[in-house]
Amino acid sequence: SVNELLERRILVLDGAMGTMIQALKFDDRAVRGERFADHPKDLSRFPDILCLTQPAAITEIHRKYFAAGADIVETNTFGASPVGMLEFELPWGLTRELNAAAAACARRAADEFTERTPDKPRFVAGSIGPTAKQMAISTDTDDASRRDVTFDQMVDSYYEQVAGLVEGGVDLLLPETVIDTLNLKACLFAIAKYFEATGARVPVMASGTFNEAGVTFVSSQTVEAFWNSISHFPLLSVGMNCALGPELMRPHLEELSHLSTAYISCHPNAGLPNEMGQYDLGPRKMAELVGEFAENGWVNIIGGCCGTTPDHIAAIAERVKRCAPHGRTSVAPLTRLSGLEALTIRPESNFIMVGERTNVTGSKKFARLIREGDFDAALDIARQQVDGGASVIDVNMDDALLDGPAAMTKFLHLLAG
């Protein structure tokens, strides 16, 4: 099993699917195939559809990564959720079929290589991307409380993708390139919901995307806050991918390796894109850099993201094959909270101040402002609580004269924005 192998050695993940697809130079007709020949939207920007129109080509890409030394390949399903397919006007009902087909493409290659070398089993991870819809921030400059999608809608969307991937035969699920932690929480909730409904179980990985400052791109969480936000879920691994090359990812990966009780994964880009949008970090140099992560004992699963090819993966596999895997971190059972930053309450901590003024029961002024719909003034009270030293604020909208769920949702969205 994956768990057993992770105890013994570092596993190698594949590289970029998009880079390999671009190299095939499929024209519009090839991308669409007969089935989608008359589809009204441009599908060239949705490479996941190739799992239905050019499955042999996708399977061949998986074969190349396995031949290079990968233990795990990801399905070509980064955008294949109903919400992800909205801009292409593809129907909700296509989701399970597309994801199952993608899983079959990867499964075919994995089984071929496992049959050849049974002592080195190959695995398939179902790739789940972040979609273009985010819940942490508003896209409406006139209304900071507005969101393009709800948590429940994201859960329903991810549920369909998870169902297709698991029923198609993946060994793992991998929500990746996470820029909005709330989207990831919706995905993890959907996975748990599917497991409970069907009795199915596969290990779950999760991988966030951080900028040079070490915060997620949309939800702006630090590494520790990100981990605290998802540590409730029984993850096989947590890690980082995309946005950065190995050099810039290094300090943030090291920090995560000391925080997380899960295994650690890492699949960086081949450096940063140049002015032509190409990635210049070659296989040898990239293997040298990520090899240091392995030598330092920071990783259990390592691969590549944008700009990486089978040559990169071959070099990485060779570089890390004698390195010992990261030993899972043991942490004290403390209260660990997360906003944009982490808050850990330790026995030696001073009293933690909780602001009580954003409570319709405890503050007549706050209650009046919420009833009058003056959320800007209500938000000022929250700011005053934080400026006054509160590490936590108590938000309560339980009042007979209010639509409590609507008021709570709007106020929390404003706080997050």
Give the model confidence (pLDDT) of 352-377 as tens digits. 999 999 999 999 999 999 999 999 99
For the chain, which residues score pLDDT lower than 50?
none
Query: Per the domain annotation, does 337 fall within a domain?
Result: no
Report yes or no: 293 and 319 within 8 Å, Cβ to Cβ: no
Residue 134 has a pLDDT of 87
Q: CB neighbours of 5 closer than 8 A, spacing ≥ 6?
A: 11, 71, 121
DSSP result, 303-368? ---TT--HHHHHHHHHHHTTSPPPPPP-----EEEESSSEEEE-TT--PPPEE-SSBTTT-HHHHH
What's the pTM value of the predicted model, to 2 decimals?
0.95
Nearest 5°: phi and psi at 279? -110, 130
Last residue of one domain, picked from the residues 303, 320, 337: 320
Overall number of domains in the chain: 2
Report the b/e string of 92-111 with b at 16+ CB within 10 A: eebbbebbbbbbbbbbbbbe
What was the pLDDT predicted at 140?
86
* 333 falls within a domain: no
Residue 70 included in any domain: yes
| Per-residue pLDDT at 142 | 85
Is 268 in contact with 15 (CB distance < 8 Å)? no
If asked whether residues 10 and 50 sit together in one domain, one would say yes
Boundaries of domain holding 404: 350-416
Give the model's pLDDT for residue 401: 87
Does residue 341 belong to any structural domain of this protein? no
Same domain for 86 and 220? yes
Q: Across-strand partners of 146?
A: none
Are residues 24 and 164 part of one domain? yes
CA distance 189 to 153: 12
Instruction: Say yes or no: 406 and 288 in one domain.
Output: no
Residue 381 included in any domain: yes
pLDDT reported for residue 352: 93
**Looking at the structure, do residues 314 and 363 belong to the same domain, yes or no?**
no
Q: Are residues 99 and 175 in the same domain?
A: yes
Domain boundary among 320, 338, 365: 320
Q: Tell me whether residue 128 is in a domain.
A: yes
Considering the domain architecture, whether residues 235 and 87 belong to the same structural domain is answered as yes
pLDDT of residue 91: 96
Task: Give yes or no: residues 205 and 299 share one domain.
Answer: yes
β 335-338/342-345 pair status: antiparallel
Tell me if 12 sits within 8 A of 70, measured CB to CB: yes
- Is residue 291 one of the residues assigned to a domain? yes
Both 163 and 294 in one domain: the answer is: yes
Looking at the structure, tell me whether residues 300 and 359 fall in a common domain: no
d(CA 17, CA 335): 40
Q: Tell me, yes or no, whether 338 lies in a domain.
A: no
CATH code, domain carrying 80? 3.20.20.330
Question: Does 96 lie in the same domain as 10?
Answer: yes
Of residues 256, 250, 188, the one with CA closest to residue 228: 256
Indicate if 385 and 306 belong to the same structural domain: no
Of the candidates 273, 298, 320, which is a domain's last residue? 320
Q: How far apart are CA 334 and CA 316, in angstroms?
A: 37
